[in-house]
Amino acid sequence: MDINYFILISLAAMACIGESASVPALYVFGDSLVDNGNNNYWSTALKANYPHNGVDFPGGTPTGRWSNGYNTIDFLAAMLGFKSAPPPFLSPVKDTSQGANFASGGSGILDTTGPTTIPLSTQIKFFQSFAQNLTQQMGSQQASLHLSTSLFLISPGSNDMAAYYAGAAGPPNEITKQRYINTLIQTLENHLRNLYQLGARKFWIQGLYCIGCAPGARSMSPLRGCLEDGNDLAKRFNTAVTQLLDRLNSTLVGMKYSHANVFNMMSAVLANPNAFGMKEVRSACCGGGINNAMLPCTPIAILCPNRNEYLFWDFVHLTQATYNLVALQSFNGSQNVATPINLMQLAQN
């Protein structure tokens, strides 16, 4: 079915739903795939608060989302019954009664990834302060109930993958790949345990997509095909994350999760773009140079007119249409794309 139809459904939900959210709040952590503006208020050059970003957002406003419009969190919030996605935690004017977004574009699982951004460890420290204030306002028992029934949405790892290749001394090999993934998983486990100790019980983890097929990666391939080494690293990481989540689920009382297999979602689109209403899956919509991916998305960048038909917004980020597809399949998809349960089931559990 045409992706435009799905976007209309989700946008209608965002306009009309919200009086009966299925969970108390949403708390968001991670990178630019879920950041909705924290970097606007942080001392970093990695920002998306300028055109052509936001060209399809209401009013054509660049909000700090790396997208032509909404991102996955916006659509998930609508599907869960919220009137809007949770606001950036660093925004000076915000209503955090239904959650907050702590994500930062360019950040990683490791503190050394994206050193000028807000790493996951600092995001969790911000949440710790937030949770303490919540306890003071609601009382310990009510705050504990609120957090244990809220959803914690996390997008980890994509920038750590980029950092691995940027810092690799020579071609990657089996030993360095596995050693790096082990380090990421050990650190991610500490982060998840910290959130659990702070009251989190329901986790939605977004897996890595086919990073070797992003326009920026393709531009480095002589034949402009996917860089399979990058895809291999993403698959290894995704497998290790699900194994970690299974282990935590069996050892942490009350911990439940849904893992969004975005790799499988994107693989299906790449194999049959027309089935998802897509016509361009190799080049970026906004940019310049090879695959329109050699230059950033700025006010002077080349902008495609048919944005809903593009898989990628810029050299590495997704279009609103793709974010919407990820949200839809994460929310009510089968176990091929959402394991062991989907987000709707997690919210109802």
Q: What are the residue numbers of the active site?
A: 32, 314, 317
The helix/strand/coil state of 313 is coil
Tally helices (H) and strands (E) across the chain: 11, 10
> What whole-number distance in Å separates Cα of residue 108 and Cα of residue 190?
14
CB count in 10 Å sphere of residue 107: 35
Burial of 299 (0-12, 13-18, 19+ CB in 10 A): exposed
Across the strands, what pairs with 26? 99, 151
Radius of gyration of the chain (CA): 19
The helix/strand/coil state of 304 is coil
> What whole-number distance in Å separates Cα of residue 62 and Cα of residue 79?
23
CB count in 10 Å sphere of residue 166: 9
Contact predicate 260/207, CB 8 Å: yes
Phi and psi, residue 173, nearest 5° = -135, 175
What's the CA angle centered on 291, arms 285 and 294, to 5 degrees? 90
DSSP per position, 273-288: GGGGT-SEEEEESEE-
